[in-house]
Chain A
């Protein structure tokens, strides 16, 4: 094992430095086994004992999973319930559009960021051997029919052949990693057209044809389209990436990823019933008023010879917006969006002196204001418009989609909060340090489930009349505040790893504190804490299963009680829980693998 890893490291090092790896003396599996598994009598005994335990465990597990009396039908028939709960069939295309947007972004990102990792033939051969080994284990230990075993054996032999060819004939072959990933996905999606998933195949000796309502029937076309969308997006990105400035393209794509969640949920999945009369009577005029008057004020403020007066006016505007906000709490009848816009304008006005100067810069500043204003107003309008998705409950999503929504919203919200808390806790200003420390210690001292229950039951009592926070949104808020505290501690660890010399060097170059923090300290600090941050992401994703405890219909609840509560599938709880665990594992495992890639790209552990 060690030798193999060493060899792979040589390959990786060669990739980085563009050098040739030293020749590896060829040796077969027998040599490898003797050196690694049976190097002494003791290790031989341990190897055999461990193998027996592992085989016994897998045999029991596979025997259970493929046992004839398992009710896997419960999972297969309820896949839609598992992933989107009651999302109505006639609007289901929205789910695929939402997925498609993410796919398109992924394809574009791969092109713009020039994902050009390569995999060697040697490594691919190893993967092929691994796959073959998995198949062999499966066919040896599972209670399959002989015909099924024969088919599995043939497939395994094909993979062994491919692996052998790659390893011995073309070990230095280099394939783009992207191609391997897309190829694997294509094989998986293609198999939907051929293999009737949802009924474990070959068990009783014959392949079952797909029935209406099984996995293949409802997923093969959409997933094929999704894959095509991703590929097309990649080539579109490839075609345009040399024609636009990389900074702009990357900025737009980053903004797209940030907006993906709100757009997917509030605009696509919720299908808001816009009342266009209301839109043109109220929303558009408010937007135009702020766009025009705000631009005028900002143009005036960013004039190069405005001087101190600009700051005075901006400060006054912040105070005015704050007063206006508070006045609403005392009964001043005003739209929420107006208050938000006023605060935004005041904050942007504070930044005006930074953009003072040439007309081109000022123009960009104004355009930036109008774009942000338009986005915020558009999203607020969508959020406030009732949904037309006709579901039995009040929330359009459930099951895995709810789990995913809560997890990603939590990650997006907790990251900035955590960052600010970490900076606050290491700050030299006592008030901020005290506030951050208190917050972190209080939140870390309370169990997550307590926070969730608090947010679900008690928070609504504190909100002003007429404002109601749905259970799902309350849960997201609770999760975010909780994981922000942990994230802050992780980031603080990174901040402490930065040596004093870095600060002093930045000071010597004349950088201000914000500049030092954002260009010198944070990039190094965050890079140092990638592993704990990824652990945090995985933990947050898995912690969403607590939604079950507070009574929401997350992925776990569907598997735990709902499917087992159907007349047809009484007594199928174990199968359902296994399926839920399997999906959780796939997601968390992919997160952890991609973090390994990220670490490699950042050069962590190598420098």
Chain B
């Protein structure tokens, strides 16, 4: 092999290196590494919070709120036939998006199962979790999350046939000897066992892996009582109660407390304030009678100072939070006040505010918001 051939080899390798180097320079680090995986980085789970940065800034930069919901909870977050997600929880996602981004539709819903929801909050996969999640001490303190104000006060109740002598005034003491059907492995099971023991009655507990068989049992008589959260029972009663029967729900004070509300990453008070005050704003708007229909009139002629401030006339309260002055105007205009959100989603399944814990504070309920000033 002559000298000249070695020069040729060298030249070929040089050309190859030059090619590599030239292309290397034209590259930028922005799409580094996104080539082989297949899934683009932009649309999935990138919401890593920088040190000191708030989720609020992330959301504003992204232009979209990533909201964790269930996607299969009747009236709270349902996936409709066309794929859209509707419901009480979904509407609160839209309310937050309206407040932060001015557009109630700028939401990317992430449907989460019960087991993965907390991981999703902790890892920043979702900005906020509004997935009928009960606020408890251990969840609040243990797992790296904070809870926002309760949007729905739920609680475990029992449902039985009126023909068996039950009425809405019945208590746990009346269910002695009854066959009680529940879903296996949930707190529901534990609650009813404890309540029965406390009332000194013996029950025959029948557990099912799925919820449909529980209510089939109530229909065909193999169960005397079905028990789960009141919101679930009402939905079943409306949809599945046979025409010739009447099902009653009791006791009027639920045997457990299940306050449901938004959940977010802990120690981010800027973001927490935004979520909390979005919820509070819907409650105040309900209290003051401002609806999506009259929001424009009220903004033009505010009846009092609080409404003027909330609707953005004197908007430094909102701008101090890092929102636009008309953030809450957008919420009520595009999504509605608490009563509108509640009635739209929960009335169709037979859940009404009157007389429940979700009624206005002025009417004996628990829906109460701090003043906006």
**Which residues of A approach B to under 8 Å, CB–CB?**
77-78, 80-81, 84-89, 213, 266, 282, 285-286, 289-290, 293-294, 296-297, 300-301, 308-309, 312-313, 316-317, 320-321, 324, 328, 332-342, 345, 380, 383-387, 391-394, 398, 457, 460, 463-473, 476, 551, 553, 558, 561-562, 564-567, 570-571, 573-574
Query: Nearest residue in B to A386 (C-beta to C-beta)?
Result: B42
- The verdict on A338 contacting B109 (CB below 8 Å), with A320-B13, A466-B34, A566-B74 known, is no
CB-defined contacts of B299 to chain A, threshold 8 Å: none
Per a CB cutoff under 8 Å, which of A333, A393, A467 touches B110? A393
Q: B215 touching A392 by the CB < 8 A rule?
A: no
Chain B residues in the interface with A (C-beta under 8 A): 1, 5, 8-9, 12-13, 15-17, 19-20, 22-24, 26-29, 31-46, 70-75, 78-85, 107-113, 115-116, 119, 210, 212, 215-216, 235-236, 239-240, 348-349
A338–B27 touching, CB < 8 Å:
yes
Q: Which A residues touch B82, using CB under 8 A?
A: 80-81, 86, 89
Q: 16 A-B pairs, CB-CB below 8 angstroms?
A: A78-B81, A81-B79, A88-B83, A316-B13, A320-B17, A332-B24, A333-B24, A333-B32, A385-B40, A393-B108, A466-B33, A471-B44, A472-B39, A473-B37, A570-B74, A571-B215
Beyond A286-B26, A336-B31, whether A473 also contacts B83 by CB under 8 A is no
Q: Determine chain B's interface SS by DSSP, over half rule.
A: mixed
Q: Contacts of B119 on A, CB cut-off 8 Å?
A: 457
The answer to whether B24 touches A467 (Cβ under 8 A) is: no
Q: Provide the residues of chain B in CB contact with A328, threshold 8 Å.
A: 32-33
What's the nearest-Cβ distance from chain B to residue A87, in Å?
7
B109 cross-chain contacts in A, Cβ below 8 A: 392-393
Give the chain B neighbours of A469 by CB distance below 8 A. Answer: 37-39
Contacts of A77 in B (CB 8 A): 81
List chain A residues, Cβ under 8 A from B216: 571
| Pair B46/A470 contact, Cβ less than 8 Å | no
A residues within 8 A CB of B78? 565-567
- Chain A residues positioned under 8 Å from B71 (CB to CB): 553, 562, 565
Q: Which of A300, A320, A567 contacts B349 (CB 8 A)?
A: A567
Cα separation A464 to B109 with both chains bound (whole Å): 26
Find out whether the CB atom of A336 lies under 8 angstroms from the CB atom of B28.
no
Please state if A562 and B13 are interface contacts (CB–CB under 8 Å).
Answer: no
Given contacts A81-B81, A473-B37, A565-B71, contact A570 B23 (CB under 8 A): no
Are the CB atoms of B15 and A320 closer together than 8 Å?
no
Asked if A338 and B24 sit within 8 Å, CB to CB, the answer is yes
Is A335 a contact of B40 with CB atoms below 8 Å?
A: no
Given A309-B1, A570-B236, verify A87-B35 contact (CB < 8 Å).
Answer: no
Known: A387-B40, A561-B72, A571-B240. 13 other contacts (CB 8 A): A86-B79, A86-B84, A300-B8, A316-B13, A333-B27, A341-B23, A345-B16, A393-B110, A465-B33, A467-B34, A470-B37, A470-B43, A566-B79
The answer to whether A468 touches B46, judged by C-beta atoms less than 8 angstroms apart, is yes
Complex Cα spacing A566 to B216, Å: 18
Docked-complex contact A85 and B83, CB < 8 angstroms:
yes
Give A288 to B27 CA distance when docked, in angstroms. 15
CB-nearest residue of chain B relative to A312? B9
Instruction: Give the shortest distance, in Å, between A509 (CB) and chain B (any CB).
Output: 34
Give, as a whole number of angstroms, the nearest-CB distance from A88 to chain B. 8
Given A333-B24, A470-B38: A80 in contact with B81 (beta carbons within 8 A) = yes
Assess whether B13 is in contact with A317, with CB atoms less than 8 Å apart: yes
Q: Which residues of B contact A286 (CB under 8 A)?
A: 23, 26
Q: Which of B20, B84, B119 has the most CB of A within 10 A?
A: B20
Instruction: Name which of B27, B107, B215 has the most chain A CB atoms within 10 A of its CB.
Output: B27
A340 touches B15 (CB 8 A): no
Task: Give Cα A290–Cα B26 distance, bound, in whole angstroms.
Answer: 13
Which B residues are CB-close (under 8 A) to A309? 1, 5, 8-9
B residues less than 8 Å from A293 (CB atoms): 15, 19
Given A309-B9, A391-B83, A394-B110, verify A342-B20 contact (CB < 8 Å): yes
Given A320-B16, A571-B212, A394 contacting B44 (CB threshold 8 A): yes
Structural contact, B72 and A562, CB atoms closer than 8 A: yes
Which residue of the partner chain, among A87, A553, A570, contacts B235 with CB atoms under 8 Å? A570
Chain A residues contacting B36 (CB-CB under 8 Å) are: 336, 340
Complex contact B349–A551 (CB within 8 A): no
Instruction: Give the residues in chain A near B28, CB-CB below 8 Å.
Output: 333, 335
Known A-B contacts A317-B16, A380-B35, A392-B107; the reply to A80 vs B42 at CB < 8 A is no
- Closest chain A residue, CB of each to CB of B24: A334
Is the pair A567, B33 in contact by a Cβ cutoff of 8 Å? Answer: no
Q: How far in angstroms is the closest Cβ of chain B from A310?
A: 9
Contacting residues, chain B, for A394 (C-beta < 8 A): 43-45, 108, 110
Contacts of A570 in B (CB 8 A): 74, 235-236, 239-240
- Residues of B contacting A290 in the complex (Cβ-Cβ under 8 angstroms): 19, 23
Q: Kindly list the 6 A-B residue pairs having the minimum CB-CB distance in the complex, ordered from nearest.
A: A86-B83, A336-B35, A470-B39, A565-B72, A335-B27, A467-B33
Q: Is the CB of A334 within 8 A of B41?
A: no
Complex: chain B residue closest to A471, CB-CB: B44
Q: Given known contacts A309-B9, A384-B40, A567-B349, is B35 in contact with A340 (CB within 8 Å)?
A: yes
Q: Which residues of A contact B107 (CB under 8 A)?
A: 392
**Which of B31, B36, B81, B115 lies at the interface centre, i.e. has the most chain A CB atoms within 10 A of its CB?**
B81
Name the residue in B5, B79, B236 with the highest tally of chain A Cβ atoms < 10 Å from its Cβ. Answer: B79
Chain A residue at minimal CB-CB distance from B107: A392
**Docked complex Cα distance between A324 and B23 (Å):** 12
User: Smallest CB-CB separation from B112: which chain A residue?
Assistant: A551
Chain B residues contacting A341 (CB-CB under 8 Å) are: 23
CA distance A391 to B82 in the complex (A): 10
Q: Please tell me if the beta carbons of B12 and A297 are within 8 angstroms of each other in the complex.
A: yes
Q: Which of A266, A468, A566 contacts B80 (CB 8 A)?
A: A566
Q: Is B235 a contact partner of A567 (Cβ separation < 8 A)?
A: yes
Q: Which residues on B sit within 8 Å (CB–CB) of A567?
A: 74-75, 78, 235, 239, 348-349
Find out whether the CB atom of B26 lies under 8 angstroms from the CB atom of A392.
no
A384 touches B13 (CB 8 A): no
Please give, as numbers and ranges, the residues of chain A lying within 8 Å of B46 by CB-CB distance. Answer: 468
Instruction: Please measure, in the bound complex, the distance between the C-alpha atom of A172 and the C-alpha atom of B116, giving whole angstroms.
Output: 62
Whether B5 pairs with A553 at a CB distance below 8 angstroms is no
Our pick among A320, A565, A573 for the contact of B79 (Cβ within 8 Å) is A565
- B34 contacts A565, C-beta separation under 8 Å: no
| Contact A335–B79 (Cβ < 8 Å) | no
CA distance A553 to B111 in the complex (A): 9
Q: In the complex, what's the smallest C-beta–C-beta distance from B292 to chain A, in angstroms?
A: 21
A345 to B26, CA, bound (A): 19
**Which of B23, B33, B119 has its CB near the most chain A CB atoms (within 10 A)?**
B23
Q: Which residue of A lies closest to B28 (CB)?
A: A333
Please name all residues of chain B whose beta carbon is closer than 8 Å to the beta carbon of A391 when the two chains form the complex: 83
Q: Which of B26, B80, B83, B113 meets A285, CB within 8 Å?
A: B26
Chain B residue at minimal CB-CB distance from A319: B13
